[in-house]
Structure 1
Amino acid sequence: MDVLLVDGYNMIGAWPDLQRIKEKDYEAARHRLIDMLAEYKAYTGYRVIVIFDAYLQRGLEKKHHQAGIEVIFTKEKETADERIEKLAIALKNVKTRIFVATSDYAEQWSIFGQGALRISARELLREIQEIERNINQSVKKDHQKKLSNRLTLSEDVAQIFEKWRRKDH
């Protein structure tokens, strides 16, 4: 199984669309990121966990699922980087490849030490954009295929069918 651990606020700070959204509403930026990651998960089949810093917040760690994505807010005095490192260790096994999406240089080196692979914020954004293009092209092809599968009828035959249709009602 492949697992993608995402440093949520790192992505929000690095992706231009999310930066614009967060200027008005941090929660909306988080939701948009999660929606994007849900499409990524659906397309790749990866298990996706997004971790948000709650370092300056009081209280316990909070976990929930949203759009099929595991969402974690770290506990008080725990950074997203620390939680990602713990998850990388906990999830590590022979059958699991762990990818960590972060552009934090110190975190990247720490992740390598745990045997995980890193994806920069820019690389993940490119992957998501490519997935969106592939999905759009697939939908467009399906739509065109459906249109081309329809029988074209001459005007005379179409009128005959229309008369039959109206007669039955």
Structure 2
Amino acid sequence: MAKRKAKQLLIVDGYNIIGAWPDLRALKDQDRMDEARDQLIAKMAEYQSFTGMKVIVVFDAYNVPGAGRQQEEYQVEVFFTKKKETADEKIEQLVWEYHEKNRQIYVATSDYTSQRVIFGQGALRKSARELLHDMESAGREIKQQVEKTRDERFSKRIPLSDEIAKIFEKWRRE
């Protein structure tokens, strides 16, 4: 019996990535953390749609009372850790849970301690820089596909002389 192909999963250490990506770090430095979080989530939703890889984003709410919730309104899964729980602990828990479900797991973080633990659990690391590069490549590929589709759509039209186009336009308006 053939072994089922493992589904891919990307778990993102949210604040680690925000601190590593220049555009998101700039928002954080301007005390616009909510905006940085929203942009990261939106980018990860695009990445998930383009790659077909399930994405989970984890934000550390270690010192935030009332946290520990999962956001349902996003296109990707988003977790805010519980009070006194770190993002690293939540990521380790998710890696353990999903490892049992025949998944190839990648964890996007540049945190060295987290990297060592996730390697031990069979997950692969994707640095913040690698993920940013993947996002930029996906964006370029999407743009090329859109342009190609647009060009193909317009090239399938029957070429008309200006005189014939004016006649058709006149008929259309009557």
Instruction: Name whichever of 48-57 and 59-68 sits farther off.
Output: 59-68
Query: Over residues 52-83 of structure 1, what are the superposed CA-to-partner deviations in whole Å (9 max), with x where a residue is unaligned?
Result: 00011123511113431111000011110011
Deviation at 1:156, TM superposition (A): 2.8
Q: How many pairs does the alignment contain? A: 167
Q: Which residue of 2 aligns with 1:3?
A: 9
Q: Which structure 1 residue ranges, 5 or more long, are not aligned? A: none
Q: Is the 1:4–1:98 Cα contact (8 Å) retained in structure 2?
A: yes
1:89 matched to 2:112: no
Backbone CA RMSD of aligned residues: 1.4
Q: Distance in 2 between matches of 1:32 and 1:56?
A: 23
Q: Which residue of 1 aligns with 2:29?
A: 23
Q: Is the 1:34–1:66 Cα contact (8 Å) retained in structure 2?
A: no
Q: Which residue of 2 aligns with 1:35?
A: 42
Of all paired residues, the percent bearing the same amino acid is 50
1:55 matched to 2:62: yes
Write the letter of the residue equivalent to 2:143.
N
Q: Is the 2:15–2:59 Cα contact (8 Å) retained in structure 1?
A: yes
Q: Which residue of 1 aligns with 2:3?
A: none
Deviation at 1:94, TM superposition (A): 5.9
Q: Is the 2:70–2:79 Cα contact (8 Å) retained in structure 1?
A: yes
- Please give the TM-score of this superposition, normalised by the length of structure 1: 0.93
Give the 4+ runs in structure 1 shifted more than 3 A.
none
Instruction: Name whichever of 150-159 and 128-137 sits farther off.
Output: 150-159
Q: Which residue of 2 aligns with 1:108?
A: 115
Write the letter of the residue equivalent to 2:45.
A
- Closer, same or farther: CA 5–136 of 1 in aligned 2, 3 Å: same
Q: Which residue of 2 aligns with 1:141?
A: 148
- Closer, same or farther: CA 78–157 of 1 in aligned 2, 3 Å: same
Q: Is the 2:61–2:67 Cα contact (8 Å) retained in structure 1?
A: no
Q: Which residue of 2 aligns with 1:74?
A: 81
**Secondary structure of the corresponding residue to residue 59 of structure 1:** coil
Query: Over residues 87-113 of structure 1, what are the superposed CA-to-partner deviations in whole Å (9 max), with x where a residue is unaligned?
Result: 101111262111100000010000011
